[in-house]
Amino acid sequence: MTSRLTISLLMGALFMAAAIGMFVAHRFTQHERTFIEPVIIPIASTTAAESKTPLLLRLQGEVDGLQVAVDIQLGTLWRRQLDKLDDPLPSVESFWGTVELHRLGPESDALLAVLEQRFGLADSAGKLRPIVSAEAVSFNGHPLSSTKSQLNLKLFLGQPATDSYAELFLTLDRQRQFAKIHEKNREYRQSLLRELRQ
């Protein structure tokens, strides 16, 4: 009797653990699906950075049936930071600087429209600001290094702890000539659009 009860309790515990695991996996999958696909735009041209000249990349191409374009300007000053982690993990190197998005006219407004549509927050009258400034961090080397074919940047827009604060991922692949705009967190959608709109 005791052994049967023990087996029954064990089987019940295993069933509950499996059910919880399936529930968590389902919720995680559903959460992942709420993120938009990265916006991929060809890099049409690159102006190489010099000692006092920013790196300028023009993104231009068709996205979701719209012709979009925007200039991405990387600042000339990037501060190296080394964060020590608990042993035996190695220290994490990062570079902090600035990134600007420059409006080029209606094609830049079309990029804003693409984000609005994908977020489900369309505003037909939306226009991109002439210049959108953001603090940026790179975790895969100095952004202005001539040896870096791909830059993985995280952008910080607006003021922290306010409803204007937003974060965004930006990948610039200079070897394959395309850029990716990745959503960082769906909770930033409203504030991100506020920072991008005029």
Residue 26 has pLDDT above 60, yes or no: no
**130-139 per-position pLDDT tens digit:** 999 999 999 9
pLDDT at 189 over 70: yes
Domain ranges of the chain: 1-33, 38-196
Alpha-carbon separation of residue 36 from 117, 150, 182, 185 (angstroms): 10, 22, 8, 10
Q: What is the pLDDT of residue 124?
A: 63
Mean pLDDT for the chain overall: 83
Could you tell me the pLDDT band of residue 35, with boundaries at 50, 70 and 90?
low
Choose among 22, 25, 118, 104: nearest CA to 70. Answer: 104
Mean pLDDT of 140-165: 89
Contact 36, 118 (CB under 8 A): yes
**Residue 86 banded pLDDT, cuts 50, 70, 90:** confident
Strands 178-183 and 166-173: antiparallel
